[in-house]
Structure 1
Amino acid sequence: MPTDTIFAKDLRRMSVLENSPLFLMTVLTRLHRNLVHGRLRVHADITLEMLLAMYIIFENQPIKQQSVADYLMYDRSTAKRTVDNMVKRGWVKTMKDDNNQKTKLLALTDSGEEIRQVCSKVVIETRTEFMGCLTEEENKELTRLCTKALLAHHK
């Protein structure tokens, strides 16, 4: 990056940041998340986190709320808040587990499934556009490297 910089023109270069993959991934994730949220807002009052939870619920329904938290690596209160917001919007229904009345099971409503389908297309289009600066091979390599790092620190 000899002349190009990730910073605004009036900011001086900082190699400690420019050479930090974790900083760069954080900024890239934030930029992507903000772009996706702006585009999702056109279709529904939904966040990327809600949509990810909807994918998990769809694939595993009925699913325990704690399992959704585990998939997303959320603490219990964050998962509860996310689920409560989806229930309030009519996208997710809750039910008691027959085996354990304290356990809350989740499933998508018909409305939730419609939102999931519409918003999924928006996210895929946005991700394709956002990561279009990389070749298919570079995207695969980025995914491989991120996965490798995550697996090395998996609990």
Structure 2
Amino acid sequence: MTKSITAIPELDNNTSFIMGLAYKQFRTLTNQRLAAEFDITLEMLGVLRVLDHLGEIPQQTLAETLHRERSVTKRLVDNCIKRELVEAHKSETNKKARYLALTEKGVKTKEQASLCLKKVNNDYYTPLSASEQQLLQTLCKKLIQDNILLGSD
């Protein structure tokens, strides 16, 4: 017998509803830790990870990589700039393009926050075996469609 979450079968048996609850719970736990220790959110850590991996890039590339709308990406970037984690400058060749790069503080924060996130991940996914965790990731990737941009969540 499966665990009842809401005591409403129509919700408890709805995979999308349950996936949403699991993600909200994970995000809440993660954001609490990241905010307390680094004054950042999970989404801001995503920005730092992309810039660490790709180097200096246009803000549009960041939005596309994160599958976020431009307005959401701008808000994330602005919050990272306020915390001195990211620096921005205009392109010499394209005055409309805003280029982004990590600051030294951004690199350090990304490294430390990633270690923190690893601990949260390990704790959160403890109820699942390693093979169940891999299966969950594989199944979620099958559901993701590249042509659908995500908003603020």
Is 2:62 aligned against 1:63? Answer: no
Amino acid at match of 1:24: I
Name the CA distance, whole Å, in 2 between partners of 1:23 and 1:71. 26
Residue type at the aligned position of 2:146 = H
**TM-score normalized by structure 2?**
0.91
Tell me what 2:129 maps to. 135
Counterparts of 2:41 and 2:137 in 1: how far apart (Å)?
23
DSSP-derived class of the 2:95 partner: strand
Aligned to 1:6: 5
- Specify which of 108, 118, 125 is matched with residue 102 of structure 2: 108
Any idea what SS the aligned residue of 2:38 has? coil
- Pair 1:39-2:33 in alignment: yes
CA apart distance, 1:41: 2.2
Could you say what secondary structure the match of 2:117 adopts?
helix
Specify the code of the residue in structure 2 equivalent to 1:17: L
DSSP-derived class of the 1:134 partner: coil
Alpha-carbon distance, 1:42 to partner? 2.5
Give me the whole-angstrom Cα distance separating, in 1, the residues matched to 2:93 and 2:15.
45
Give me the whole-angstrom Cα distance separating, in 2, the residues matched to 1:21 and 1:75.
26
Computing the radius of gyration over CA atoms, which structure comes out larger, 1 or 2?
1
Displacement of 1:84 in angstroms is 0.5
Aligned-partner Cα distance in 2 for 1:130–1:99: 46
The 3-state SS of whatever aligns with 1:26 is: helix
Q: CA deviation at 1:127?
A: 0.8
Query: Deviation digits for residues 65-113 of structure 1, max 9, x if unmatched?
Result: 1111112221111100100110011110012223312101100000111
Q: Which residue of 78, 83, 91 maps to 1:89? A: 83
Count of residues in Structure 1 that have an aligned counterpart in Structure 2 = 147
SS at match of 1:32: helix
Identity score, percent: 32
Task: Give unpaired runs (5+ residues) of structure 1.
Answer: 8-12
CA deviations on 1:19-55 (whole Å, 9 max, x unpaired) are: 1111111111110111011111231210000001110
